[in-house]
């Protein structure tokens, strides 16, 4: 821990500030458990009473919560609150708004990642892309979907823009659910899985190469493709439902024809 505390700041306040910085920069993620008290005190070079005071500060601010096993876990909103997710999910038109937002955000994040990614970021991106390839080759759609989300989050992390990172982490629940549900629909098209992997590889390779313009274009194209494909599938499903209702009289006809 940085020993150059702000003038007038107690050691406990300095400890709390250090943990806040770890949360802010994404080193300590929402849902992560802190080390056991003894280990964490050693790690931060402070006494256990001082550590407890620092943790209490963060608990009072709602950044940490105590769990039954005595440890503390970061409690920043990993996702938008469940009632709001349910409200959003109940309105189909919000999907368009969500994907419009993502197209803009993904483009910006990919451009920043191509410019700012370091060796650690590139290793993380490569690990995610390798997982996509393995799951794709093995035909495990759920694993591929999870790796898909993780690649996007790795791009947000590599952007080194804290607002982008924490905003998209807050939406990660919708992102993860959306990717899985979208894939179930998109995979109805035989060519889609290959195209999605190719789009992810284009994003990955552009970021790794540091090609800012190509990274932004690849990320935006990927979301626009997903948006358009889902729209076409939705329209096709709607036409099918109309045809089925015509076939059985909307389930309200007896099937007998009037003599009039």
Task: Tell me the percentage of the chain whose pLDDT exceeds 70.
Answer: 78
- The full DSSP string for the chain is ----PPTT--HHHHHHHHHHHHHHTTSS-TTPBPPPHHHHHHHHT--HHHHHHHHHHHHHTTSEEE-TTS-EEE-S-SBS-HHHHHHHHT-TTHHHHHHHHHHHHHHHHHHHHHHH--HHHHHHHHHHHHHHHHHHHHT-HHHHHHHHHHHHHHHHHHHT-HHHHHHHHHBHHHHHHHHHHHHHHHTTSTTHHHHHHHHHHHHHHHHHHT-HHHHHHHHHHHHHHHHHHHHHHHHHHHHHHHHHHHHHGGGT--SPPP--
Residue 56 sits in the same domain as residue 114: no
Q: Does residue 6 fall inside a structural domain?
A: no
Confidence of residue 244 (pLDDT cuts 50, 70, 90): confident
Higher pLDDT, 77 or 119: 119
Same domain, 101 and 183: yes
Residue 35 and residue 58 in one domain: yes
* 182 and 130 belong to one structural domain: yes
Same domain, 66 and 89: no
Is residue 239 one of the residues assigned to a domain?
no
pLDDT digits (tens, 9 = 90+) for 67-83: 776 556 654 544 455 55
Whether the predicted pLDDT of 259 surpasses 80: no
**Same domain as 202, residue 151:** yes
Are residues 58 and 98 both part of a single domain? no
Residues 53 and 149 in one domain: no
Q: Note whether 156 and 29 are same-domain residues.
A: no
Full residue range of the structural domain in which residue 87 is found: 82-231
pTM of the model: 0.70
We report the CATH number of the domain holding residue 149 as 1.20.120.530
Q: What is the pLDDT of residue 3?
A: 46
More confident residue, 211 or 66: 211
Is 248 inside a domain boundary?
Answer: no
Least confident window among 31-35, 92-96, 97-101, 217-221:
92-96
Classify residue 37: in a domain, yes or no.
yes
């Amino acid at each position: 821990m940085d020993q150059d505390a702000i003038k007038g700041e107690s050691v406990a306040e300095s400890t709390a500030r250090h943990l806040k910085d770890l949360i802010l920069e994404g080193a300590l993620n929402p849902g992560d458990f802190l080390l056991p008290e003894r280990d964490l005190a050693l790690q931060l070079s402070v006494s256990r009473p001082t550590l407890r005071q620092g943790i209490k500060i963060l608990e009072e601010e709602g950044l940490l919560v105590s769990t039954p096993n005595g440890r503390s876990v970061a409690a920043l909103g990993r996702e938008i609150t469940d009632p709001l997710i349910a409200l959003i999910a109940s309105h189909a038109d919000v999907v368009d708004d969500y994907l419009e937002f993502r197209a803009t955000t993904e483009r910006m994040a990919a451009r920043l990642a191509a410019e700012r990614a370091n060796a650690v970021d590139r290793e993380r991106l490569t690990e995610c892309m390798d997982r996509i390839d393995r799951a794709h080759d093995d035909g495990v759609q759920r694993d591929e979907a999870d790796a898909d989300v993780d690649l996007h989050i790795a791009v947000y992390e590599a952007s080194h823009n804290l607002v982008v990172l924490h905003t998209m982490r807050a939406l990660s629940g919708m992102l993860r659910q959306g990717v899985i549900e979208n894939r179930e629909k998109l995979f109805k098209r035989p060519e889609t899985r290959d195209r999605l992997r190719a789009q992810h590889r284009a994003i990955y390779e552009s970021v790794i190469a540091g090609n800012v313009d190509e990274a932004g274009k690849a990320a935006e194209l990927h979301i626009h493709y997903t948006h358009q494909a889902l729209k076409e599938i939705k329209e096709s499903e709607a036409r099918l439902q109309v045809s089925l209702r015509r076939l059985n009289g909307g389930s309200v006809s007896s099937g007998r024809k009037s003599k009039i």
